[in-house]
Structure 1
Amino acid sequence: MSEGGVIEQLRKACAEEKGMLMLINLDNFNFFNDVYGREMGDHLINRIAGIINSVTAGEDIKGRLGGDEFVVFCRGLESRDELREMLGYINKKIDSTMEELLGVSEKISMGVSIGAVVVPEQGTDYESLFSKADYALDRIKQTGNHGCAFYTDESNKKYKSEMGNLSRNMDESGDQRGALWLDYDYFSIVYRYIRRHIETYNDTALKMLVTIVPKNVNMNEYDFYQTVKKGGQIINSSLRRSDIMMQSRQNQFFLILPEFPQTYIDKMIQRIDRKCKDAGIDALVDINIQHEMIVAQEKNDDKK
């Protein structure tokens, strides 16, 4: 997917041809990079580029925008159902690729979301059509990952919501202690918000990966499951209410601690170790903790 001249090709196609302009975004790619590293991320994005290339026609115009987004003009494509079928195929191939790269036990679900606009139904100017496709993509990303949305004039209408009712419906009830324990989909949404906050305000956060490994390789599977479950509860109770966590694998937990001072990292690790010892699980399993600070990209680049 060469970027050379692709914009001019897109402008010409949008002005003269029928088809569909689409933005394809790889969901949770920054999160994947942070967990598995940039080298694995680059390998994954190249594999996905190959999947997109294989499912589209040779005469279609394709280009990569930044790290996790692609733009495609499918010549002659006007069927929304056909695009949905294409999306389903791409995401199935990504599932297979993830199993191949990381194993079937991996819980992180990767896939793509698509924002699309029909040409010339919604116009012939590439820049305007791109904005409409981007709007559709943003809409589907707000409602959930791995889906597609089509721009229409109706979809661009703004609806008013009563702020008080929305706030009351979303407020957390009761005195919830410990970190906010989320499943993958919700965790990745909050994670993306934290990353945006860090980039915008030059803030920092701490990420931790806690892996629980049985001391005895012959440990009963159910006993290990119960021990990991107890370990997760201990980790949760050790964290602040402003922290978030998820179980990324059967024996692994991924934590984000916003605005966490580096000088307190060792104390946090000691707290988790102490609580595990008090609960008696340290005799059954080893608790391995990796940690790294998340900083704004500019700040990170300045250090290189």
Structure 2
Amino acid sequence: MEKIEIFESLKKACTDENGLLTIINLDNLNSFCDAYGVEMAERLHKECKRIINSAIEEDDIKACLGEDGFVLFCKDLKNKNELIDIYFYISEKMDEIVADMLSKEDMSGLISEDAPISVKLSMGAVMVPEFGTDYTDLFQKADQAISELRKQDEHDIVFYDEGADMKEGAVWVEKEEYESIHNYLRRYINTYNNPACEMTVNLSPVFEEMNVKEFRKIVYSSGKTISGLLRNSDIMMQEENSFKLLLAEMSRENIIKIVDRIRRGLKKAGLYDYEIITIDTIMLGTDGEYCKWDKVAV
């Protein structure tokens, strides 16, 4: 099918069908191309098309967006968890393909072996017809969703949510940035004598035999749920199966309320049956004093 025909099909699907319009971006593909050459990048792009085709239904619509992206219309797909499963499937297969390609190439003179350039996936999606039926408008909304990931330099899947204005919840950062903010917060506390809290939410599977990949999805869903329960000013970082939270200007009474809010939020999301949740809280006081005061099994 010609490119123009494909986009006409996407427009018609947005007008007539129910489903999810989705943008997939291959993050770092340009850097990958610079490091390993155009041929390697083209091979990777071709493999990604094959993987996407294997993950979606035959009557779903797919088009390329330049050299590092795709747009999909997944017909009759209304369950967000199903698209999350597709995201994880494509991501895992891409990781395998990249690792296999690099293992077979001579990297001498290209890049150090201990710092390979990987290609990660970002996905932004919008529900149709809930958020409209015009393809151009829906595409902009899916792109707005994925742009939130770009701002945070994250590789993830995010759904457009008009009501949430795409900005609610804690700011999710990497370890280095978290530590810098942590140091800044300590100086702020010493200057203004305003206490804060560092909270650690630990997750472990209820059943020892639980599949590792399945539990990773549960941890992912838990993190998104926790983030949405916090303020825009709160900071969040993931370490394996735990999440560290920095909560500024926080009293003990408010911390108890937040622990209860997280407990109720995870229960409402249906995650209680799959994970054991414990929460450690540390009050950050003045003059660098730390007072560990509570540990909660949720």
What is the TM-score with the length of structure 1 in the denominator?
A: 0.50
Q: SS in structure 2 opposite 1:115?
A: strand
Larger Rg: 1
Tell me the equivalent position of 2:165.
156
Distance 1:51 1:134 in 2: 22
Alpha-carbon distance in structure 1 between the residues aligned to 2:7 and 2:38? 27
Q: 2:150 aligns with which of 141, 149, 152?
A: 141
Whole-angstrom CA distance in 2 between matches of 1:50 and 1:19: 22
**2:31 and 2:117 in contact (8 A); partners too:** no
Q: Provide, for residues 26-74 of structure 1, a one-character-per-residue CA deviation record: whole Å limited to 9, x for no partner.
A: 0111111111111111111111111111101110000001010100000
- Asked whether 1:116 is paired with 2:122, we answer no
Name the SS of the counterpart of 1:117 in structure 2: strand
Aligned residue runs from structure 1 range 58-137, under 5 A: 58-103=58-103, 107-137=116-146
For the 8 Å contact 2:32–2:118, the answer to whether it is kept is no
Letter in 1 for 2:158: A
- Kindly indicate whether the alpha-carbon contact (under 8 Å) linking 2:145 and 2:166 is maintained by their aligned counterparts in 1: no
Deviation at 1:145, TM superposition (A): 3.2
Give the distance between the partners of 1:64 and 1:155, measured in 2 at CA.
29
Contact between 1:27 and 1:145, CA under 8 Å: does it hold in 2?
A: no
Letter in 1 for 2:33: N
Distance 1:2 1:64, change over 3 A: farther
Q: Which runs of 5+ in 1 are unaligned?
A: 160-168, 174-304
Q: 2 CA distance for matches of 1:7 and 1:69?
A: 14
CA apart distance, 1:118: 0.3
Provide the residue aligned with 2:232 in structure 1: none
What residue is the counterpart of 1:197 in the other structure?
A: none
Aligned to 2:227: none
Q: Is the 8 A contact 1:2 1:63 kept in 2?
A: no
Partner residue in 2 for 1:17:
17
Distance 1:142 1:52, change over 3 A: same
Aligned CA-pair RMSD? 2.5
As a proportion of its length, which structure holds more helix? 1
1:75–1:31 Cα change, 3 Å? same
Amino acid at match of 1:116: A
TM-score (norm 2): 0.51
